[in-house]
Amino acid sequence: MKKPEKGQIWVEHKDTLPEKMPTWQERRILAFGEPMMCVENTFEVGDKAPWHEHVHAQITYVMEGEFDFNVDGEHKLVGKGDSVYMAPHAYHEVICTKPGKVLDMFAPYREDFV
Among 40, 53, 68, 93, the residue binding a copy of itself under the rule CB under 8 A is 40
- Phi-psi label, residue 87: left if phi above 0, alpha if psi -120 to 50, beta otherwise: beta
Choose the binding region for a copy of itself from 1-9, 17-25, 47-55 (rule: CB under 8 A).
Answer: 1-9
DSSP class of residue 17? P
Among 2, 22, 74, 112, the residue binding a copy of itself under the rule CB under 8 A is 74
Among 2, 22, 73, 81, the residue binding a copy of itself under the rule CB under 8 A is 81
Could you give the CA distance from residue 85 to residue 47 in angstroms, rounded to a whole number? 21
- Determine, following the binding rule CB under 8 A, whether residue 63 of this chain makes contact with a copy of itself: yes
Could you give the CA distance from residue 25 to residue 47 in angstroms, rounded to a whole number? 8
